[in-house]
Structure 1
Amino acid sequence: MHPWGKWGRSFIEYGTAAARAALADAGIGWADVRSVVGAGTIRCGYPGHVAGAAFAQALGWQGTRVTSVYAACASGAQAIDTARAQILSGIAEVVLVVGADSAPKGFFAPAGGDRPDDPDWLRFRLLGATNPAYFALYARRRMALHGDTPDDFARVKVKNAAAGALNPYARYRTAVSAGQVAASPVVADPLRLLDVCATSDGGAALVLSSMEYARRHGAGDPVRIRAVSTVTPVYPRTEPGLPDIATDSAVAAGPPAPGFRESIARAAYEEAALGPEDLSLAEVYDLSTALELQWYEDLGLCPEGEGAGLLRDGATALGGRIPVNASGGLASFGEAVPAQAIAQVCELTWQLRGTAGERQVTGARAGMTANQGLFGHGSAVVAVS
């Protein structure tokens, strides 16, 4: 990884630094890579749209095939999925996956002009519901349905900041107290500044290969990707051109169960042939503190409505039964969109290798990542040792 922060430099610099570190970690040279998959960043101009080629050029043209993938916050996971497909199909034995971003300050402005067919654009423009407002609606829903409190949300930040203080790649490496969270400015009631993640610069990279290639190069028993889920939501409208909302109450229908985040996790569990009881840890998308609590339930770590209780019991903290965001999460990193799903897998890899230092989860054997993003993008990755 390249450390997260606000460095003000090109995303290519962060990505190539992470790529070189990943190659060194794998014990191979750049010339050994036969495919590069770059996670795209639409805020960084043309080079961001063609991220795979941008990273290949920066590392030095050597004939490798390139692919560029954009899927909002799931870009990194879709890049991993693309690399895995290339390996499983025999196109390449070893693939470099890279994501990096140079993010603007504040709320991400929609890129590409007006998009009236984009439900998130409609949310921004018609409702004025930027992401912090959207997170706040989730928080209010949890308070109304499950009795969660602002103190519960603050506990998430305190937990993740304590883990992030131990992570050399994190942007924010200072522990915080519940009092500091409560004293921070209100952003979108009930969420305060320290409840909401920042935007950041940063980069992350992985070297993926076939098992045969890894063993030929002395990897022994490497960390394995057991599943990648990139499912989309299911809503009543199933064909383009039909109205989004049925006006006749006799035919209107609500979203079917399971919900979007739950379906992301379910597809990953099914592919991996594992369940939540098999996980040693999870890295989830804590865009806000309240959303982390929702992930506990959607990943099946506890029944619906019991996420805050799981947190209060200390189960999701370092040393707990199922640590969540042992890396420090977005609370400690901020969003560097194309890099973050890759960074989550970096953390799983270090944990499953037993090399995570002071934040090591004892006996880690299996982990899951999870995130969601604009335009129905989401992902989950399951890795095992």
Structure 2
Amino acid sequence: MSADVAVLGAGMHPWGKWGRSFVSYGRAAAREALADAGLDWRDVDAIVGADTVRGGYPGYVAGATFAQALGWQGARVTSVYAACASGAQAIGAARAQILAGLADVVLVVGADAAPKGFFAPAGGNRPDDPDWLRFRVLGATNPAYFALYARRRMALHGDTVEDFAQVKVKNAAAGALNPRARYRKRVSAEEVAASAVVADPLRLLDICATSDGGAALVLSSVEFARRHGRSDPVRIRAVSTVTPVYPKTVLDLPDIATDSAVAVSPVAHSFRASIARAAYEEAGIGPEDLSLAEVYDLSTALELEWYEDIGLCPMGEGAKLVREGATALGGRTPVNASGGLASFGEAVPAQAIAQVCELTWQLRGTAGDRQVAGARVGITANQGLFGHGSAVVAVR
């Protein structure tokens, strides 16, 4: 049996700071996805909601919350929480129901109304949560965490702050072409350098904002899609939600003893790389087959690390790719053609779904001015803390 499921519809509520409930963003995205699919909400067999714990109790049961907002119609309901990987795990849950024959059509929705500023762990004291510990014991907010990654890249691979700035320049140029992005202004390297230092060596424009937004997908079996006139739909071929492997319990550090100048398999040294490797193996493809990628650029330095983790280059050569323009629009393998988190900001449970929306539009050839020519295969990748990984492969 084919492991593919069809993407019949994709929808988004634009990212920004709108001051409304996450429910309104998710409902708007769902309605757009349903319209794109040419289906009515009553045609949906199941709904999977990506949770937002900052939204109070309705956010903890997002599947039921969105079902209520769209109008009770008896759909099977699932809610998923996996931090930044919530959206991809929601896609995985929907795909499993379709492949198991439990549903022909599943709606996947994620939305957030993020507070301004640093994300604090929700739910009170959690001394068994490493996220809580680094906030409470170390005082290490997310930007400090990102800065440690950046400093390590500078020490191990010789990356520079100028390299990091070029990632922002690239993503801002793509975001300027995306009507759904929050920030639609090109940025120069000089403007990045002139922005305030947040956590050395990262500046304000090196780090993503927090945003409101929503994204949704209508998924179906390939057979259902063909019966309803979609003979060549975009298909999801793999969803990787792997966890680390013992004894590699340091989630995402490379083997420091390895000579970083030696070209090694880019999927051999980190938890994040194992996420991509599992997706490639399931899909039967490799990095060389990619037309584009959407990765979680929480910071500019972290995007460079993703290049290596998804196999676009050997470890330590991410900065070289951005210098060469290989990951820009028009380059060999564009990364974050949507503009990435640099242009959207982070609406946590929606983000991984939004990444697949972008792949869908690109593979359909409907991405407008940011269209990647001849796009046929794409991958998304992100990591939620506490061992939540996610990658999705879509093909046409």
Taking structure 1 as the reference length, the TM-score comes to 0.94
Question: Map of 1:269-308 to 2, 5 A cutoff?
Answer: 269-308=280-319
Structure 2 Cα separation of the partners of residues 161 and 92 of structure 1:
39
Partner of 1:353: 364
Residue 186 of structure 2: aligned partner: 175
- What residue identity is the alignment partner of 1:186? V
CA distance in 2, matches of 1:265, 1:281: 14
Question: For residue 333 of structure 2, what is the amino acid of its counterpart?
Answer: I
Return the letter of the residue paired with 1:377. H
Question: Structure 1's 145 and 237: CA in aligned 2 closer, same or farther, altered over 3 A?
Answer: closer
3-state SS of paired residue (1:344): helix
Q: Deviations over 1:136-175 (max 9, x none)?
A: 0000011011110000000000000000000011000000
Other-structure match for 1:33: 44
User: What SS is found at the alignment partner of 1:127?
Assistant: coil
Gaps of 5+ in 2: 1-11, 250-266
AA at the equivalent of 1:292: E
| Alpha-carbon distance in structure 1 between the residues aligned to 2:241 and 2:186 | 33
Aligned match of 1:203? 214
**Whole-Å separation in 2 of the counterparts to 1:344 and 1:307:** 21
Q: What's the offset of the Cα at 1:374?
A: 2.1
Aligned residue runs from structure 1 range 213-362, under 5 A: 213-236=224-247, 257-362=268-373
Alpha-carbon distance in structure 2 between the residues aligned to 1:9 and 1:367: 32
| 1:258 Cα offset (Å) | 3.3
| Count of residues paired in the alignment | 368
User: Normalised by the size of structure 2, how large is the TM-score?
Assistant: 0.92
Alignment partners' CA distance in 2, 1:98 and 1:156: 29
In the alignment, structure 1 residue 68 sits paired with structure 2 residue 90: no
Could you list the structure 1 runs, at least 4 aligned residues long, displaced by more than 6 angstroms after superposition.
Answer: none
Bigger shift: residues 117-126 or 91-100: 117-126
Q: Partner letter of residue 161 of structure 2?
A: P
Give the deviation of 1:233 after TM superposition.
Answer: 2.0
Alpha-carbon distance in 1 for matches of 2:268, 2:291: 26
Q: Paired residue for 1:131, among 142, 148, 169?
A: 142
Counterpart pick for 1:158 among 164, 169, 191: 169
Q: Which amino acid aligns with 2:32?
A: A
Please, which runs of 5 or more residues in structure 1 have no aligned partner? 239-255
Matched, 1:380 2:367: no
| Identity of matched residues, % | 85
Worse-matched range after superposition: 110-119 or 73-82: 110-119
User: 1:315 aligns to what SS in structure 2?
Assistant: coil
* Distance in 1, Cα, partners of 2:385 & 2:236: 25
* Shift of residue 235, structure 1, vs aligned partner: 4.5
3-state secondary structure, aligned to 2:215: strand
Deviation at 1:59, TM superposition (A): 0.6
Cα distance in structure 2, aligned partners of 1:235 and 1:45: 34
Question: Aligned equivalents of 2:307 and 2:110: distance in 1?
Answer: 26
Q: Following the alignment from structure 1 to structure 2, what is the Cα–Cα distance between the partners of residues 233 and 130?
A: 23
> Alpha-carbon deviations, 1:94-145, whole Å to 9, x = none?
0000000000000111111111111221222222111100100000011011
Q: Which moved more, 1:72-81 or 1:372-381?
A: 372-381
RMSD of aligned alpha carbons: 1.1
Alpha carbons of structure 1 residues 301 and 237: separation in structure 2 relative to 1, 3 Å: closer
